[in-house]
Amino acid sequence: MTEPVTWTLDNGIGRIEIDNPPVNALSNAVRKGISDALKALGDERSLTAVVIACAGRTFIAGADIREFGKPRQPPTLAELCDQIERFPHPVVAALHGTALGGGFEIALACHARVAAIGTRIGLPEVKLGLIPGAGGTNRLARIVGAVEALQIALSGDPIDSDRAHALGLVDKVTDGEPVSQAVALARALKQPPVPTRSLPIEGAESAALEERIAKALSKTAGQHAPAAIVESLRRAIALPFDEAVAADRETFADLSAGAQSKALRHAFFAERQAAKFDSPVGSGKRIEKVAILGAGTMGGGIAMSFAAAGIAVLLIDTGTEALERGLARIQSNYDRSVSRKSISADEAERRLARIATATDRASAADADLVIEAVFEDMDLKKQIFSDLEAICAPDCILASNTSALDIDAIAHVLKHRDRFVGMHFFSPANVMKLCEIVRGADTSAATIASAITVARRIAKIPVVSGNCDGFIGNRMVAKRSAQVDRLLQQGALPQQVDAALKAFGFPMGPLAINDMSGLDIGYSIRKRRGTSFPIADAVVESGRLGQKTGGGYYRYEAGSRTPIADPEVAALIEQVRARLGVVPREFDEGQMIERMIYPLINEGAKILEEGIAQRASDIDVVWLNGYGFPRWRGGPMFHAGTVGLSEIAQKLTLFAEETGDASLMPSALLVRLAGAGATFDDWDKGTLRDAA
């Protein structure tokens, strides 16, 4: 095996190169390699400075997440950072790609940094439920001040090279390769170099810092890592450097052994795993030309996702008026992004220029991919696809964005169904990351692979789903909705139900969400199917359709989107309870959470059993990215493992008996896994499947 770290000495400058694909993660071997290289270079008499650089697509992207929880070999990353910082000659980091987490901590321990333009730099530890474990907060605060350091560490989002330069985090940004510039800088630095730890922390006692801290903590209640980052920063300010870093290391060890970090690490790998699809066809067909049918909110959002990824799209709708309205909506979205400074005005213009329009379906003739995003009408969709088959090239991929219709029924009109697939985007499609790739009975592996690849190119997180009512996400939501209505019937109020799920970690309660999207949609679906949710139906039948009518489960003041508990709704609910002959009872938060979450997990188990989802972790990815499931709980199927499957199976049996609703009985898979003392993760690993 080739060594992941090598060094050379040329004209007084030592060069340490890390080559550990794919992302130069800091494995045991890499840490030891850098340390040994420094020792060897330190013994060279002619040495005047050292440059640390990486081969391949990126600088070090952090600790090796796969080694967490496994035995670590010396040196620790903190020891390595100390060794770099105390090196008697200047050490300069040459950055490109990403310098993240432990990679950034190494760069911070260096005496100066040069970055290729476009390098992204950050401390994503918080996203893994951790704090920077090797003095990152302490050194960062000394370079950029307390307030900026807090912002960078708490958000976990990378900053780009220009911003890093403006903050003094990198000393030079170059549009060429960074190593030669790093060598030049290394030669110019004074000897012996100034260690970062000796610098003061600016803004340590500012009101601005306290304000940021209070705001951040209120937004992340219940999460351990953000609070621990704040504590780490306070220690950086109050304690001697070595003591502060030693305390960080203890906190890091506690956090990494904890349930929240395990859940977040699960989420990280689950998202990458979801994009993997066993197929002999590689990544599928290269897609260059995309047409989208339907310039409504959904079609426009999808078009924006392509435009953001630098891919030109043709937006097609039947009338110029619809197109103008669609473009105006897109324009106003861009205006908002520019005013929020999330993109520049130039970038907004470039993106808009990538969206062309047409009123004629025939303009889709040379597309490699057509995505249909018109309203949910089976006949209309059938008509569109049968037209497209005649218009488009035989290998053009035809995708429907339907969320509610049967993919195979739509495909029925096609002669070549292998190239037909569902691509279910979530609203707002320019923001939401999830894309369910729905596989019809005849969809080919190559078509699925192409859809996954294009979804990844536009920064979506694809999850393959079989074809069934609601696919993965909405099918599970429907189970929760039934229980939400049941809770209301039995004694809970909308604000209590919503508060329970918010306490669990969802950003919004389901009833407030329903009010936002409009209650009439669900109502008409229920009517069509002949099902009934007594409370939901009564709310709609009283004329309350949600925010758009000023009231639904809540009331809304004119121009406001803040839900306010409404005694009128409570009275309406009372009436339904009286009609149903229910004597209301009280539920505490924990009981409500169990009654809403466990049926959803049960449905997930059925989805798995039926082969609708390839893996339990895919179901988690759907919920994390499409439905606001708290990431630090890992998703419903991971959460089930934390609670214990037998506990869940028992409770479900109890709920089924109590309500007489047999559909609540635990699924066969859930019972079997619970009996084996296993988790859904064990199922994913395949260890239990053979026994099944």
Nearest distance, CB of residue 479 and ligand T1G, angstroms: 31
136 binds ligand T1G (CB under 6 A): yes
Pairing of strands 159-160, 120-122: antiparallel
105 binds ligand T1G (CB under 6 A): yes
106 binds ligand T1G (CB under 6 A): no
- Burial 5-26, CB ≥16 within 10 A → b, else e: bebeeeeebbbbbbbbeebbbb
From 636, 623, 626, select the one nearest 670 (Cα to Cα): 636
385 conformational bin, left if phi > 0, alpha if psi -120 to 50, beta if neither = alpha
Catalytic (active site) residue 85: no
130 binds ligand T1G (CB under 6 A): yes
Bridge partners, residue 139, by sequence: none
- Burial 197-231, CB ≥16 within 10 A → b, else e: beeebebbeeeebeebbeebeeebeebbbbbbbbe
Determine the size of the site formed for ligand T1G (CB under 6 A).
25
| Distances from the Cα of 164 to the Cα of 146, 189, 208, 229, angstroms | 15, 20, 21, 20
566 binds ligand T1G (CB under 6 A): no
107 binds ligand T1G (CB under 6 A): no
Please choose, out of 60-68, 109-117, 164-172, 515-523, the segment that lies near ligand T1G by the rule CB under 6 A: 60-68
Determine which helix (DSSP H) or strand (DSSP E) holds 489, and give its type and residue range.
Answer: helix 473-490
Q: Residue 389 and residue 396: Cα distance in Å, rounded?
A: 9
Please choose, out of 61-69, 398-406, 591-599, 637-645, the segment that lies near ligand T1G by the rule CB under 6 A: 61-69
Structure token pair of residue 107: 């760069």
Please choose, out of 9-17, 125-133, 434-442, 566-574, the segment that lies near ligand T1G by the rule CB under 6 A: 125-133
272 binds ligand T1G (CB under 6 A): yes
634 binds ligand T1G (CB under 6 A): no
Q: Residue 292 and residue 411: Cα distance in Å, rounded?
A: 18
Question: DSSP state, 106?
Answer: H
128 binds ligand T1G (CB under 6 A): yes
98 binds ligand T1G (CB under 6 A): yes
124 binds ligand T1G (CB under 6 A): yes
Please choose, out of 98-106, 176-184, 550-558, 631-639, the segment that lies near ligand T1G by the rule CB under 6 A: 98-106
Nearest distance, CB of residue 232 and ligand T1G, angstroms: 11
Q: Is 613 helix (H, G, I), strand (E, B) or coil?
A: strand
Catalytic residue chosen out of the listed positions 125, 148, 271, 594: 125
Structure token pair of residue 13: 């400058």
70 binds ligand T1G (CB under 6 A): no
Q: In this chain, which of 109, 134, 410, 414 binds ligand T1G, going by CB under 6 A?
A: 134
- Nearest residue (CB) to ligand T1G, 25 versus 576: 25
Q: In this chain, which of 41, 100, 164, 293 binds ligand T1G, going by CB under 6 A?
A: 100
Q: Residue 100 and residue 96: Cα distance in Å, rounded?
A: 11
DSSP per position, 127-194: GGT---SSSHHHHHHHHH-HHHHHHHHHH---EEHHHHHHTTSSSEEESS-HHHHHHHHHHHS-SSPP
Nearest distance, CB of residue 245 and ligand T1G, angstroms: 11
Q: Please state the length of the chain.
A: 692
Binding pattern to ligand T1G, positions 4-23, x when CB under 6 A?
------------------xx
64 binds ligand T1G (CB under 6 A): yes
Catalytic (active site) residue 321: no
Nearest distance, CB of residue 151 and ligand T1G, angstroms: 17
246 binds ligand T1G (CB under 6 A): no
Q: In this chain, which of 4, 129, 133, 226 binds ligand T1G, going by CB under 6 A?
A: 133
Q: Residue 56 and residue 270: Cα distance in Å, rounded?
A: 25
592 binds ligand T1G (CB under 6 A): no
25 binds ligand T1G (CB under 6 A): yes
Please choose, out of 55-63, 417-425, 511-519, 620-628, the segment that lies near ligand T1G by the rule CB under 6 A: 55-63
- Nearest residue (CB) to ligand T1G, 292 versus 624: 624
- Is there a contact between 510 and 480 (Cβ–Cβ < 8 Å)? yes
Helix, strand, coil share of the chain (percent; to 5): 55, 10, 35
From 270, 27, 236, select the one nearest 128 (Cα to Cα): 270
Residue with tokens 């987490």: 101
102 binds ligand T1G (CB under 6 A): yes
Q: Phi/psi at 296 (nearest 5 deg)?
A: -75, -165
Catalytic residue chosen out of the listed positions 17, 105, 148, 594: 105
Nearest distance, CB of residue 588 and ligand T1G, angstroms: 37
What residues are annotated to the active site?
105, 125
Residues near ligand T1G (CB under 6 A): 22-23, 25, 58, 61-66, 77, 98, 100-102, 105, 124-125, 128, 130, 132-134, 136, 272
